[in-house]
Structure 1
């Protein structure tokens, strides 16, 4: 049976609201990333039910209506194997991203999502050729891997911008574990959007630089000696 706040049954003074328990940042970050990945699975289930019609909404380079793909492409996958391959990196790297702060995670994700997608829209047809000699194919880029490459690049370089030891350590560990994945920014594997990987990684570096501005500014202030002379 529940008890009211009278007669010493509560841990706070009469007339004062109870202090809300703040959830640990790692828990909030973990739930945020887990929810995003769960959403990807819900979307893929619906995509399978509707005959993969959603996949037509990817990034189609240099086409005006293909710009909408910048919004939708990271949430679409060609099949279950494609989504499963992206699941573990998305969970691990996404969670590590939230450790730099949930607001930074959101801003960084938005930068990578938009800037990386725009870059893919601009260069996505480079190197794309049909089986027929001399014929260029139009491409349709989908998948969360561009976003994942952005997170990966962000984590690797962010610590070197902020000069915080633990963020440098995270970057080194991520580079050691996932560094080989960066080869995916190079052309060579048919059916793989190296353009999306490359643009996502570049956008991740840009996001890391922009979002490290407070630490870089504080470092510059520490380098600048105070002026002992005051003027009026």
Structure 2
């Protein structure tokens, strides 16, 4: 039992390392695409964007997140994309890839069904909002206290982002944002941790003190009771202690 926290911590660090390189690689691809997009006078963005109601552009819901309309567009998306993408991926890269596909589809379909006007919609902001929604509620579905705390901090720090999930900002596809956010919330439930909690370690039974003085027996019982009270399965801090232990912080 003593090796389990170290093993869990090592696995989490390995996943976090993979998540970092996955997001770094994804951003590198997005910027390389932008170089080609810029060199071709943004023809790829016009050709592979999503246009509402146009059947020919329906498959473009998978290409639109890689394209941007300007350098300012891609710069504004890159930081949040990396931050929220990493936080969404560090618990499991394979789960993250499934989430990314789901969010791209929900964001793209929201644009394809409901966007007004014959305009092409591109950009990674739908993914950003999907990852944001996923990170905010994932801890509640997985019952991970550390992830719940991260979600609370992200929600408090970036709540202003929700202002562009409703109509009112010129030149911004609020439908892509809202569709991505819905996809992230749904993904948190679909990709939740179904393994359940490991049973908490039971405290050792009091040793038989037959033959010793009554005072010694009373002290032994008192120590056992204190241990149960502080770290037992029913204590509200028990799960937090375990999470911190898995991260190597205890």
Give the aligned partner of residue 118 of structure 1. Answer: 109
Q: Point out 4+ residue stretches in structure 1 off by more than 6 angstroms.
A: none
Shift of 1:148: 0.4
Larger Rg: 2
- Any conservation in 2 of the 1:150–1:201 contact (CA below 8 Å)? yes
Return the alpha-carbon distance in structure 2 between the equivalents of residues 210 and 29 of structure 1. 20
Within 5 Å, give how 1:1-232 maps onto structure 2.
24-56=14-46, 57-125=48-116, 137-212=117-192, 214=194, 218=196
- Any conservation in 1 of the 2:107–2:175 contact (CA below 8 Å)? no
Q: Deviations over 1:194-216 (max 9, x none)?
A: 0100000011111111111615x
Return the alpha-carbon distance in structure 2 between the equivalents of residues 24 and 100 of structure 1. 10
Shift of 1:118: 1.6
Return the alpha-carbon distance in structure 2 between the equivalents of residues 157 and 63 of structure 1. 34
Deviates more, 1:162-171 or 1:77-86: 162-171
TM-score of the pair, normalised by structure 2 = 0.71
Shift of 1:25: 1.9
Equivalenced residue count is: 186
- Any conservation in 1 of the 2:16–2:91 contact (CA below 8 Å)? no
Return the alpha-carbon distance in structure 2 between the equivalents of residues 115 and 100 of structure 1. 22
The DSSP-based 3-state class of the residue aligned with 1:188 is coil
Return the alpha-carbon distance in structure 2 between the equivalents of residues 111 and 214 of structure 1. 19
Shift of 1:146: 0.4
Q: Deviations over 1:40-78 (max 9, x none)?
A: 110000011111101111110111112022011100000
Over the aligned positions, Cα root-mean-square deviation in angstroms equals 1.7
The DSSP-based 3-state class of the residue aligned with 1:196 is helix
Q: Which runs of 5+ in 2 are unaligned?
A: 1-10, 198-250
Give the aligned partner of residue 11 of structure 1. Answer: none
